[in-house]
Structure 1
Amino acid sequence: MPKPRKQQVSVEATPFYHCVSRCVRRAFLCGTDSVSGQCYEHRRSWLEERILALPQIFAIQVAAYAVMSNHYHVVLFVDIKQAQAWSDMDVVQRWHQLFKGNVLSQRFVQEEQLAEAEQQRLKILVDEWRSRLSDISWFMRVLNEAIAREANSEDGCSGRFWEGRFKSQALLDEAALLSCMAYVDLNPVRAGIAETPEKADHITRR
């Protein structure tokens, strides 16, 4: 039985994690379907743009990534200090870039006066949202749901696009981090997408 995600992630042990999401069955993230001849290469840009945009909202940075035909890799750095340094307004404004929030949070960003009970309720929400904005499960959820919606809309279908859970691996020391980043960078080479990592599109080079 898979371990709960909370038992797999401990930022006290390490802030670095290698995550992988894979498409279900014969679904294509990108590449060309050899049976139908349908090209999905444009979906690489969908995913890359999202991967690079989310660190502007989350307290999570992307150290490396690679986009393959039916899966992708990301190496994530969870910046707890950044999340703790945000003001309540910072948290709410960031959350509103992802979700609508609620009446209280909308009134708060409009700088309306809140009653004491409303302020207490908002504080609970802010603490919850601050935690989610430094959580790799929420990062991967927001990333995958956006791509799934676009892919299903393009394919004219509904249902699951990704496998049920993304895989995550804690990178506990510098050697593990460097080894993992090299592995991610070399994925396009092993797959025959590029001759060298330097010539591969849709991977980071840091």
Structure 2
Amino acid sequence: MQKLVGIYALDIAAYAVMSNHTHIVLYIDTHTVNSWSTIEVIERWQQLFKGSVLSQRYLRGETLDAAELQKLQKVTTLWRERLADISWFMRCLNESIARQANAEDNCTGRFWEGRFKSQALLDERALAACLAYVDLNPIRAGIAKTPEDSDYTSIQQRIHAAISGEQPKNLLPLVGGEHRDMPKGLPFQLDHYLELVDWSGRHLDPRKRGAIAANTPPILQRLGISPKHWLYLNRNFESRFKRLVGTAEKVREVCTQQHKRWVHGLHDCEIYLSSST
């Protein structure tokens, strides 16, 4: 997973590797992929695939005529698009895992049950809810008691790095809220997000049911999500939404752009990603 994001124009915002499935939140960096030169696109693509005779000749410094250059430009444009495509990323990731698993089991054939599921996160509320949902997977499954004990997760990485006053280099950083010239990263403060995940994890523990504590993390106030709805999202995010996730207004806006009359989960967007009540 981390090797692939070093090739693709994608960044990992959150992940959780479970025993039989994975969760990944990805950021598509269109600015970076469009800045790559033809040579860089070819070099990256050929780390994953063989490429073409023309691309191999081009990298060797051989002279190509006008027709060959035009043909090469056409195929590298396609490769550039694929290097920013989540479907191609998942294809490479899942194929690699399937080959290794089949080799260990000394068998062949289909490994995954079906195609991966994806959801577009349209705003900060949807992003925060999905990040926490992914980071809390081991706690929700009962295989970890705290975020720092949650092996193979982005939250464990972030906590270990935070102890040294750093952020993981292979994860999209948390760069804070709205301000000018904000660098690429997640629009939340690191300490606020870690506090939010820790608070949420404690309330996911079935042995600790009851009233919501008064020390609700301030990030929920900024996002305008009620604590009650937030905890519901931590348990049910994946099942309540299918394709588009965000405020009802944002989902309707995207539906209009895509000429869709309706999208699954719109009612839940109105309830759980609405302003705090």
Instruction: Give the TM-score range, shorter chain.
Output: 0.7 to 0.9
More helix by percentage: 2
**Mapped pair 1:57 → 2:7:** yes
Structure 1: gaps spanning 5 or more residues: 1-50
Match of 1:156 in 2: 106
Other structure's SS at 2:142 match:
coil
Select the residue among 59, 77, 80 that pairs with 1:109.
59
- Aligned partners of 1:55 and 1:71: how far apart in 2? 19
Deviation at 1:111, TM superposition (A): 1.1
Give aligned pairs, total.
Answer: 156
- Aligned partners of 1:175 and 1:196: how far apart in 2? 23
Higher relative contact order (CA 8 A, sep 6+): 1
Q: Is the radius of gyration larger for structure 1 or structure 2?
A: 2
Match of 1:91 in 2: 41
**Mapped pair 1:129 → 2:89:** no
Deviation at 1:143, TM superposition (A): 0.4
Deviation at 1:72, TM superposition (A): 0.8
TM-score (norm 1): 0.74
Deviation at 1:115, TM superposition (A): 1.0
- Aligned partners of 1:160 and 1:85: how far apart in 2? 37
Q: CA RMSD in A?
A: 0.9
**Mapped pair 1:118 → 2:118:** no
- Aligned partners of 2:85 and 2:100: how far apart in 1? 23
- Aligned partners of 1:166 and 1:109: how far apart in 2? 34
Question: After TM superposition, where is structure 1 displaced by more than 4 Å over at least 4 residues in a row?
Answer: none
The letter of the residue matching 2:127 is: L
More strand by percentage: 1
Select the residue among 145, 148, 171 that pairs with 1:195.
145
**Mapped pair 1:176 → 2:126:** yes
TM-score (norm 2): 0.55
Deviations 1:15-64 (A, max 9, x none): xxxxxxxxxxxxxxxxxxxxxxxxxxxxxxxxxxxx11111100011100
Structure 2: gaps spanning 5 or more residues: 159-277
Deviation at 1:163, TM superposition (A): 2.2
Select the residue among 116, 136, 144 that pairs with 1:186.
136
